[in-house]
Structure 1
Amino acid sequence: MLALGIALGSLQGMAQAATFVDVLDLPARSSELASRSPLRDVARAGDRLVAVGLRGHILYSEDAGKSWQQASVPVSSDLNAVHFPAAKQGWAVGNDGVVLHSRDGGASWEKQLDGRQIGELVLAHYQALASAEPDNEQWAQFVAEGQRLVDEGADKPFLDVWFVDAQRGYAVGVFNLILRTLDGGRTWSPMQDRTDNPQSLHLNTIAAVGNELYVAGEQGLLLKWDAVEQRFAALPSPYQGTWFGLIGKPGELLAYGLRGHVFRSTDGGQSWSQVDTGLPVSITAATLDEAGRFWLFSQAGHNLLGQDGGSRFKVVPRENLAPVTGAATDSAGSLVLVGERGVRALPVE
């Protein structure tokens, strides 16, 4: 009986192992509760709204957030960010090095890249540069980084994505992971050597303000694309804690992060002034409304409306506060917020 029990246990273990499917190969499951499950980001796609979240869930709404449909997604990895440079063309990124692309406004998605490929991609790129310039010592460091990515496997998340148009875009993530595409995601090029980030700090967000492109991350890291030098150059940082996001419009840039810290720049990030939010909790999301006003949202669910061009903010009272991780405005001008409790729409003042 003991031998039989051992044999049956062994067979059961083998069966379980045989049925394991990597989340990178497992399509997201359909769920009636998807709109109330944890979501991490939301974006406009023309008149549609598209939200992304855990377990590969992607939702889209065609009626200003009143109802949501679940998209067809080929992975079950957690998704962290989404961006649509045009109504039909969009990209989403997440854990396990996932990059997804939609051609139909977020209704269906295809995988363009995952972490199983990224290590080899980075390694091959920097090996080629090292071979072409054997006396350039910096390439050895990046070759070693590529080898580390290969050895550690598909576990490095992308944290944000931004595209200027349907061809040119960036994905950024942990440990200075940054890739660029010039052909709509068919091919990607590493850019770790083009960031002023010697400590390989996490890149939490990438955002454009007018014609200027910025990256922000942990330990006060602020970068700005220098078109002449063709690199993300360091900006003076007014705060040495973690930045969670950047938002702005021409002539005004806000950086927000831990413990309610918000700073404002009117000269492209060369100098900063602190904005008093009156809150001790982290600011985790932001958006501009149809009137061009800044809205900030906290980890505890506070809604803050910008005054005087974002130089000060007031708290807008709301009932049933819930953590906010992403924000957008719908075609009717309402706020659409996502977080641990799913998605909800709120009126603006």
Structure 2
Amino acid sequence: MILRTFGWSFAVTAVGLLAAFVYGNGTGLALVAVLAVLEISLSFDNAVVNAKVLDRMSPFWQKIFLTVGIAIAVFGMRLLFPLVIVGLTADLGPVQAFDLALNDHERYRHIMDDAYPMIAAFGGVFLMMLFLDFVFEERADKWLPWLEKPLARIGKLDQLSVVVAGGSLALVSWLWAENTGQVMISGVLGMVTYILVNGLGELFAEAGDDDEDDEDGDGEGAGEAARTGGPSALALATGKAGFFLFLYLEVLDASFSFDGVIGAFAISTDPIIIALGLGIGAMYIRSLTVFLVRKGTLHEYVYLEHGAHWAIGALAVCMLVSVGHHVPEWLTGGTGAGLIIAAFASSVLRNRGGGADAVSGGDKQLHSTGV
């Protein structure tokens, strides 16, 4: 199971570390190893949330996420994204931006630092919307009932997540942003992106449910399974629904990777070293996502999803605060990891106390991706 799930990650690690040694000798090897650990520590909560969404996708779209998706994650976000940001900010072409990255590390880093407030606003608002939509929804299982119950109660107010996220963006822009207009625009774009991608995914998921209802006459159960993200075969997203879930996952992964990409500049400004290190880390996050799906971990340890979303909320706050103040990477990663570990421990205690009976056997079905 371990070798099957993490085999590609082990292979990429070996190739990546070898390439790092050839490219930068022992120093390059050490930097790539540190960056890989940084990416894994910052993105563990990403794996938990990805697993929840991946569990709703058909085997075909799971394979697409694990093949095409990893190429987008490694080459798109970890290598091309910084070059695009530098090119747009400094009004340079792609070749010029790449040449700058290789030959003038200090200027390259300076441009990325200047662009960070806009990046943080986009990613912070996107992740905050994801967090707020989770905590404002009524759920049967509550990890922190003293807090989640009142949040779910006030969450009945329509579009409250938009109000809170928009208000937070306005406050941050007013207090800390040097370029208020650009930060506001970036944050609003993050909000629009979340609403659009998430809304399209739900729209086509509901359309898929209706098609299944017409064909099988089993409408009520199928629709409910899809809405709760359960593993019923009827709930698996295919076609347009699968595509928009895939798109949603890619945007989500991009938002999670912002802090890792920017934080990597504190360790190295070489784009090759950064791409190798973060690429290795991204592979392990993908493998961990598959592991959680195949083992049915989120159904067995029911508070893990709660812990991951609270970690997302903490990351969103850190990103918005970083618009005006530096937030250490150890604080961001440590807070997220601590919340997930606490949620896992709470799930274990719940299961030992008999709460596991609330998890139906059907919820432990595994969706093998064949990858």
Name the TM-score, length of structure 2 as normaliser.
0.22
Q: Looking at secondary structure, tell me which structure has more helix per residue.
A: 2
Which has more strand, going by share of residues?
1
Calculate the TM-score normalised by the size of structure 1.
0.24
